[in-house]
Amino acid sequence: MRVLAKLESYMTGRRALLPAALVLSAVSTLVGTAPYVLVWFIMRELFADGAGVSSGPVLLYAWWVAGTAIAGVVLYFAALSLSHLAAFRVAVGIRRYAMQKIVWMPLGFFDANTSGRIRKIIDDDASITHSSLAHQMPDLAATVLTPLSVLVLIFVFDWRLAIACLLPILFALLLMSSMTGDRGRARMKLYMTSP
């Protein structure tokens, strides 16, 4: 968090862009899970016991599926746009700060450091922040929210199905922890060194 706060100091006047991008990415994730719920509603209508299928609710749900799918993409595009604006502002702010500092460096500094090295430090290293701010930060919100929203939805629709889905995941986590723990490393070392 300290690094993010430091990078925000370079966003002069645009500090709200990154939190807004995270919120839009989170909303995009929630809107992106809505088509799955709506498809479930369609399937429920199609396989309902008794009465014949009325095309009215199915058609309405189908339009909502299309609308929420498009809205999810549009919201994610808006989130990426805001995060890119924030990332570009940070890169420019870092370059501006570095140039203000380099103007006051003694002449001996320029004898010891080539112009290419100085350019790399200022220009290329400032660009490194782009991928983490412009792409990874919005994706982080989606990465955290997607499994949580799916987990909630599974429990809402059928708690038995949720438990049936969680048991293999828990078993896999236990299996992975046994393989990556101290005993697992010892067994792997024994396996690799055996003749």
Domain-wise residue ranges, the chain: 2-157, 160-195
Q: Which long-range contacts (CB under 8 A, 24 or more apart) does 153-161 make?
A: 153/33, 153/36, 153/37, 157/40
pLDDT tens digits for range 19-34? 899 999 999 999 999 9
CA distance 189 to 81: 48
pLDDT digits (tens, 9 = 90+) for 90-146: 888 888 888 888 888 888 888 888 888 888 888 877 778 888 888 888 888 888 998
Residue 52 has pLDDT above 80, yes or no: no
Indicate the pTM of the whole model.
0.75
Q: With 80 as the cut, is the pLDDT of residue 11 above it? A: no
